[in-house]
Chains A and B, each alone.
Chain A
Amino acid sequence: MDARLRTFLVRSGFLFLISLVLVAGFWYHREFYQIGFTNLLIIGGFVTFLVIWAARLALSGELPRGRPRGELTFSIEEGDRLLRAVARVVVRPSEGTTVPGVGHVVRARYDTGPEFARLFIEDARRAFLADLTDADARQAGYRTAAELRETGAARWRWRPSDTVTVLRVRAMGAAS
């Protein structure tokens, strides 16, 4: 089954269960709501509002991780490596790059513009560029640390003494 259809069904099922609980709650408290239409309107309306709100967030994919914060741009090759899970690490200059913390989601775009995925940030650290090892580079989809440095030097003009942010990410699927 298509992953997105499965996600949609799971979310919808969850919301249906919440709706059942909601109706059961109204039934259980039916005597209380007999005290007047205003009570039912205000309290019932508020609870229903919360459910509709939660549904909107769930169906937009913002539950349970929340709305994407910020974005990272990638070359076509880098993006493909992430989508194919060949690379799990993203290295960016710390200066001038705003990246949300661990547990947040960022939009991943090709540098030509289109969004190709949402990335869940699993870990983040700062390091001197000179301290990156070949193992770091391989996780970022490069053969060696030297290759990673050279590629970045062309793009960001970084120097070995510069600080970089090393993010371990997980692609959450292509954007709709």
Chain B
Amino acid sequence: MDAWLLAFIAIRGGRPWLQATYAACTLAYVALGAAFVGTNERVLAALRDDVALGIVLLAHALTAILVLGLIHGETLPRRRSVAFLLVPVPLLAYLAPIEGWTAATAYEGNVLGGFLVLCLGVALAEAIYARYTSRLLAPHSFWLAVGVVALIVAGPVYAYELEFLGEASLAGANLASPIALACFALVAVQADPFKIAPRPAKGGTKAGTLPASDAIVFEENRPKYALRTAHEESSSGRTTLILGRHAPSMAAGGAGFAGLLPGRHASLRALTTASEFLATSRGGLVVVEDLADLSALSEWPPTIEAVVRLRHVARDTGSTVVFSTSRLTDAERRALRDLRLPWWSLPDPAREIEAILAQSFGDGAARLLASFSRAHGLRPEELTTEHVPALEDFLTRALAELSGVVAGTAGHGLRTQLEAAASGLRSFAAQSAEDVARGKWPSRISSGAHPDLLVTAAEYWKGKEMEELFAAADTVGEREPLFERARAVFVEQLGDAGESLLRTQLTHLGKKPEDLDRSDLVQIADRASIDLESLAAIVDIPQEKARIQKQIDSIRERLELIVEEEQ
């Protein structure tokens, strides 16, 4: 039974140190049980008493270390508990022959018995303490307590009963070890980290731009800056993990992704995932994108406790943890703010982009953005700073459309205005989350006028000719070559590989990009779905499979949207 549990944990576990502790603990109980049964059945020779006693000592110390590790996380078995609980083992083993201690009389009232009871007592006390003080660990500590109580009943208590009845001692074997190990295995599995894909490369991580050794809250409506920061830090060589419900549409420059799976222990699993990641990638970055979903899955009290514990992990490992407040309720935001973590209030890039355009084009900024979004099959709230280059290009083409209508001074004025807007967009897009958090948001700059200009285009054109620009933008949107619009969709979802995939589909259709029409787009959507689904079919990692499926769905939806608009 113990061996089966050991095999199960070896296969299912995602925490090497905890698995090693579990394995050592299980092997100790297996050895004691096998020795007892083997000796009684005359299959094995009697174990040397000092060896048996050493294994008894080891089993008890490892039980306590395992329970502490299951409660306090991945890093604990490597540090304090090892020192406090393993150091006395060789000392007591050395003293055993001198003092006449044996495995059969291990629980007697002496130093040896005291140590064994202390080990079980520490484990039980920690489990009970966690049960009553932690909403995050309460369900697990119940099973840990059950396991330890079983060991106590079948250990010291049963030894007392056997001694009272004058029966032979179990010589260190514990009949309840399968029950206890099953309880510990249950907790280990329930708190098992989520799978990370792709696994970050082992080795050192480079320092990023975010402050280390702390947790930072990104207050934003949608986790746009949180993800962008993950991309930037990852691209600069910092080991990065994104914890979210769905994989970001585009691979985040080498950042690992761990998908939250539905389950009541999601908060604890998120904690163990981040802890295990930061224990192996000290100085790394973890971005918790979907704190709100953790709250929905596990409720808020365990989730906020996980936040507190993650902050300690960040401090202990010199790492950074970023939490996004997206979709949290007001009460949850208040509770998070009460933790007094560094708090970065961040704007919605879509709103700021509109504000920058409004400085040049007045109320028509919203129309311009709507035209751009329509042309790229985007919803306005999906706009991020990553779309700024495409937006600049779009505005330039809209102005070019006007070249036949406006010329001379008027054209020059409009061009100047456009350049001012483009410059504003570029400088805004270049700002990091930390820069933006300082509060110099375009939407907060008063007057709506660009400071470098005496008059805005809206004022210059007195509203009439400006209509020409907006109409031109609509026309650009309508005339945006289908290939460009499809390319934008593929590249956004799949990166540079997306364009290759699109061109491959065109080759299959025997068409040139400029010849693409609506019916082709439908075919491309179908064919690309089949190709990507066959790719997803050979991927074993569920999160990657889900990410590819999401990309397929998104590409199909966006292409269908473009086709609908063309009708």
Partner of A126, one of B164, B298, B327, B330: B327
Interface string of B283-300 (1 = CB under 8 A from A): 000000010110111110
CA distance A65 to B298 in the complex (A): 15
Q: Which residue of A lies closest to B330 (CB)?
A: A95
B263 at interface (Cβ–Cβ under 8 A)? yes
B262 touches A123 (CB 8 A): yes
B245 touches A101 (CB 8 A): no
User: 8 Å CB contacts to A: which residues of B286-341?
Assistant: 290, 292-293, 295-299, 327, 329-330
A78 at interface (Cβ–Cβ under 8 A)? no
Q: Which residue of B lies closest to A122 (CB)?
A: B262
CA distance A34 to B71 in the complex (A): 40
CA distance A35 to B166 in the complex (A): 13
B435 at interface (Cβ–Cβ under 8 A)? no
Interface residues of B (CB under 8 A from A): 161, 164-165, 222, 245, 262-264, 266, 290, 292-293, 295-299, 327, 329-330, 379, 381
CA distance A95 to B296 in the complex (A): 12
* Min CB–CB distance B292 → chain A (angstroms): 4
A103 at interface (Cβ–Cβ under 8 A)? yes
B299 touches A94 (CB 8 A): no
Q: Is the interface of B mostly helix, strand, loop or mixed?
A: helix
A32 touches B327 (CB 8 A): no
CA distance A53 to B495 in the complex (A): 59
Known: A101-B296, A101-B299, A102-B264. 10 other contacts (CB 8 A): A31-B165, A32-B161, A94-B292, A101-B264, A102-B266, A123-B262, A124-B293, A124-B297, A128-B381, A168-B262
User: Which residues of B have CB within 8 Å of A94?
Assistant: 292, 296, 327, 329
User: Which residues of A have CB within 8 Å of B379?
Assistant: 130
User: 8 Å CB contacts to B: which residues of A127-151?
Assistant: 127-128, 130
20 contacts between A and B (CB under 8 A): A94-B327, A99-B296, A100-B299, A101-B266, A101-B297, A102-B263, A102-B266, A104-B264, A122-B262, A124-B296, A125-B245, A125-B293, A126-B290, A126-B295, A127-B327, A128-B222, A128-B327, A128-B381, A130-B381, A163-B292
* Min CB–CB distance A27 → chain B (angstroms): 15
Range for the number of chain A residues in contact with chain B = 20 to 34
A103 touches B329 (CB 8 A): no
CA distance A35 to B299 in the complex (A): 50
B298 touches A102 (CB 8 A): yes
Given A94-B329, A101-B298, A128-B327, A32 contacting B165 (CB threshold 8 A): yes
CA distance A128 to B295 in the complex (A): 15
User: Which residues of A have CB within 8 Å of B262?
Assistant: 102, 122-124, 168
User: Which residues of B have CB within 8 Å of A124?
Assistant: 262, 293, 296-297
Q: Which 6 A-B pairs have the closest CB atoms?
A: A103-B264, A124-B296, A123-B262, A126-B327, A126-B292, A101-B299
Interface centre among A29, A103, A104 (most CB of B within 10 A): A103
B292 touches A103 (CB 8 A): no
Partner of A125, one of B164, B263, B296: B296
User: Which residues of A have CB within 8 Å of B297?
Assistant: 101-102, 123-125
B293 touches A126 (CB 8 A): yes
B266 touches A32 (CB 8 A): no
B161 touches A163 (CB 8 A): no
B296 touches A165 (CB 8 A): yes
B296 touches A126 (CB 8 A): yes
Q: Which residue of A lies closest to B299 (CB)?
A: A101
CA distance A124 to B293 in the complex (A): 7
Q: Which residue of B lies closest to A124 (CB)?
A: B296
CA distance A61 to B296 in the complex (A): 25
User: Which residues of A have CB within 8 Å of B299?
Assistant: 100-101
Q: Which residue of B lies closest to A130 (CB)?
A: B381
Given A94-B329, A101-B296, A163-B292, A35 contacting B264 (CB threshold 8 A): no
CA distance A82 to B75 in the complex (A): 45
* Min CB–CB distance A120 → chain B (angstroms): 11
User: Which residues of B have CB within 8 Å of A31?
Assistant: 165
A95 touches B329 (CB 8 A): yes
* Min CB–CB distance A102 → chain B (angstroms): 5
* Min CB–CB distance B183 → chain A (angstroms): 16
* Min CB–CB distance A32 → chain B (angstroms): 5
A163 touches B264 (CB 8 A): no
User: Which residues of B have CB within 8 Å of A29?
Assistant: 161
* Min CB–CB distance B331 → chain A (angstroms): 8
Q: Which residue of B lies closest to A100 (CB)?
A: B299
CA distance A138 to B128 in the complex (A): 46
Interface centre among B161, B290, B292, B327 (most CB of A within 10 A): B327
User: Which residues of B have CB within 8 Å of A125?
Assistant: 245, 293, 296-297
User: Which residues of B have CB within 8 Å of A122?
Assistant: 262
User: Which residues of B have CB within 8 Å of A101?
Assistant: 264, 266, 296-299
CA distance A35 to B160 in the complex (A): 13
Interface centre among A29, A122, A125 (most CB of B within 10 A): A125
User: Which residues of A have CB within 8 Å of B295?
Assistant: 126
CA distance A31 to B264 in the complex (A): 45
User: Which residues of B have CB within 8 Å of A102?
Assistant: 262-264, 266, 297-298
